[in-house]
Structures are given as C-alpha cells and as structure tokens.
Amino acid sequence: MKVLVINCGSSSLKYQLFNMADESVLAKGLVERIGIEGSVLKHQPGEAEKVTIETEIPDHSVAIKLVLNALVDAKHGVIKDMNEISAVGHRVVHGAEKFATSVRINDAVMDALEECIEMAPLHNPPNILGIKACEKLMPGVAQVGVFDTAFHQTMPKHAFIYGLPYEVYKKHGIRRYGFHGTSHKFVSQQCAEMMGQKPEDIKVITCHLGNGSSVAAVKNGAVVDTSMGLTPLEGLVMGTRCGDIDPAILPMLMKKENMDADAIDSYINKESGVLGISGVSSDFRDIEGAADEGNERAKLALDVFAYRVQKYVGAYAAAMNGVDAIVFTAGLGENSISMRESIAEAFGYLGAKIDKERNNVRGKACEISTADSKVKLFVIPTNEELMIARDTKSICLG
C-alpha cells in the first residue's frame, strides 16, 4: 500500500510518498512560494538526485498537480501510475473537540473542519485547500485528516479548563487543546518500543523542542497534560513565542506601548521568546554560538528556556505520580547536546542521570541515561509524516 502524506501551509506544501509494506520513503519534496513570484518544487526521488522545477504555481491545486506529475514522471518519478496511491494523509493543525482521532474525510468532516477555522485561522485554511485539491485531482482515493490536537484529547477536564468563567468554554470553546500531538504520539510509542514495553504500561514525558516547543505527559499511552493551550503560544519559551506569562502584562503593554490587539498578538508570537530575550536570533544554534562568545543575554535566553522545560518536567512527573522515561525530540531536542545536558542537570530528584558520553549524539534514536539511572532518558528523532502515514493506513484498512 502506498500512502501520500501532505502538509499544506499558506504558501508551502511538504509531501512524502510512503511504501507502507516496509515504511520506506519513495519520494519526498517541498513546494515553496505558492501564489508568490518565484514558485518552485523541490522533488527528491528516493536516493536519486534532487530535481528542482521552477514554474508558476498560483494555488495549492496546481501545486498538488505538479507533485503528482513529479511522482509519475518518466525520468524522476517513483511510481508508474497515480492509481498506485491508495490513500492521502493530510496534516490538519486544529481539530478542536471534534476530532479525538484521525478520520476519513467526508462531507460531514469537511463541514466540521470549516468550523475549526476560527481556532487556527492561519493554519487550518491551507490544510483544507490541500484536501479539496486532492479530492478533485484524485477522485475516489481515500483522504484522511490527522490532527495536531487529536492525541491530546484524552486530557482530563481539570487539565484543560482555564481559570476563566466556565461560560467561555461552553460559548467559545476556549480551553487548552495542545499541539504537536502527532510528534508526541510517535516518540512516546517509539520510546515504549525501545524500552521493550507496551505504551499502556509506562509513564513518559515527551519534550518536543524545536522552533515551537511543547512538553507532554503521556500516561499509559494517553496524554494527561501538555504545555500548549488554546493556541501554540502557551507553555515553554520558544524561538519567537513568549510561552506562559502573567496575562496582566498584555493590557499593560497595550497601554504603555500603544499597541492594538493585532500588534500585541504579533509581539508575543513573533518578537518574543529566546529571540526577544537574547536579541540575537530565534535559532538556537546562533544563540548557543553567541553564548559561547560571552553574550550574557544569549546565555540568559538559554537558561530561561532550559529552566522552563525543567519546571514542566517536574510538574508532569507530579501529574503522573512518577515517570519512567523522558524523551527529547525535534530540531533542538535531537541535536543540541549542551541543551539536553543543561535541562537534565535538574533531574537528580527523579533519580534520572544523563550519561555525557551517550549524550554526545545528534539526530539518532538512543538512550542517553546512565545504566543506574532510575528514569530513562532518550533522544528519539520525531517523524510526524510516518505517524500520519501509519494512521492513514490503519483507517483505510479499518
């Protein structure tokens, strides 16, 4: 069975074609600058050389048509006929309370997706465009929606209700939802496998540390809490997002800096986080470099970031009444040896000890705790596309 995974952003589209027999990637690629001058498709067929196609790509439908053409192309294609694609798995950012699992798309699901737009006005519309384009171009092929929020839907009410009047939850759906669910699901399952355990038998804290970052408490295979909330702004300090702050800061800043709602929204989403603290960059490599050269604000940004992760890990160990394993994943979690070491410094009370030799690793699944560590520490590269392909396959095979 071959499954195409599509992740549509507002002006970009990422894809991977999987052969589910062995979960290998037959081809993958990226369409950039959709609807903007300079559109381009970068197509990577298996191990062969990357192909770059520069052409006008006015909308998502044209982008997907181009991807399908590339996949069946006589020279750089990897399949003979489009009919070889049995199903398409689409990443959808927000499923609100409507979707606790991945789902096969039908008219009722499309209506529900439209209703979720107000929760993620920037992300959900391009996701929907991608689904509609595939339905048009591949009639009869199963389309499956896989939601960033779905894995977190097991959170108990006491974890997802804000300390606001209850009516705002009933009236506007204002509650904590959580994101990066596909990644937290993938690495928590992988962690169980590496421990030779079933997910149902272990308590795992998964730290997805990238540009956007979140932590999840996964008890017996189900999320009991996660750090992101109604939107992906809550929780950890991120590349450019502020994470948890005293909400009173917002009206204060709006008055003092003469900002309206849009301006403050952009300030806390795009100009804050480690970028705002360091004044250097949102990229952790730049900040680590500057800190090494003695930049005090860069050092402070790294300390603030690590401390917030440490606090969430402590909170989630408490929430689950213990923890068996802590996993680091995503760009920073998989690659920053020094950040993992800084964070794990505070795990002594848990009986978790990082092994500096083992931790000397980038982008590879492995255990990084000492042999006598009571709590196991792991680096596990995330693979959201594979998780989407697996969900798509299991839904289609029923």
Closer to ligand ADP at the Cβ: 77 or 239? 239
CA–CA gap between residue 310 and residue 333 (Å, rounded): 13
Residue among 37, 43, 38, 45 at smallest CA distance from 13: 43
Backbone angles phi, psi at 91, to 5 degrees: -75, 130
Query: Alpha carbon 218 to chain centroid distance?
Result: 16
CA–CA gap between residue 380 and residue 190 (Å, rounded): 8
Closer to ligand ADP at the Cβ: 224 or 312? 312
Residues 157-186 that bind ligand ADP (CB under 6 A): none
CA–CA gap between residue 331 and residue 180 (Å, rounded): 13
Q: Does 277 bind ligand ADP (CB under 6 A)?
A: no
Q: Does 32 bind ligand ADP (CB under 6 A)?
A: no
Q: Does 232 bind ligand ADP (CB under 6 A)?
A: no
Q: Minimum CB separation from ligand ADP for residue 287, in Å? A: 8
Which one-letter amino acid corresponds to residue 304? V
Backbone angles phi, psi at 126, to 5 degrees: -65, -35
**3-state SS, residue 87:** strand
Q: Does 212 bind ligand ADP (CB under 6 A)?
A: yes
Closer to ligand ADP at the Cβ: 68 or 326? 326
Closer to ligand ADP at the Cβ: 66 or 275? 275
Q: Which of 16, 149, 335, 369 binds ligand ADP (CB under 6 A)?
A: 335
Q: Minimum CB separation from ligand ADP for residue 69, in Å? A: 27
CA–CA gap between residue 195 and residue 187 (Å, rounded): 12
Write out the E strands in the chain: 2-8, 13-19, 24-32, 40-45, 51-54, 85-92, 103-104, 142-147, 203-209, 213-219, 222-226, 325-329, 366-367, 376-379
Q: Minimum CB separation from ligand ADP for residue 232, in Å? A: 9
Q: Does 306 bind ligand ADP (CB under 6 A)?
A: no
For tokens 């067929």, the residue is: 45
Task: Please tell me which residue in 148, 225, 324, 391 is annotated as part of the active site.
Answer: 148
Q: Which of 95, 199, 276, 331 binds ligand ADP (CB under 6 A)?
A: 331
Q: Does 276 bind ligand ADP (CB under 6 A)?
A: no
Q: Does 332 bind ligand ADP (CB under 6 A)?
A: yes
Residue 324 is a catalytic residue: no
**3-state SS, residue 208:** strand
Q: Does 283 bind ligand ADP (CB under 6 A)?
A: yes
Q: Minimum CB separation from ligand ADP for residue 180, in Å? A: 8
Q: Which of 89, 181, 210, 381 binds ligand ADP (CB under 6 A)?
A: 210
Q: Report the interface residues with ligand ADP, using CB under 6 A.
A: 210-212, 239, 283-285, 288, 330-332, 335-336
Catalytic residues: 148
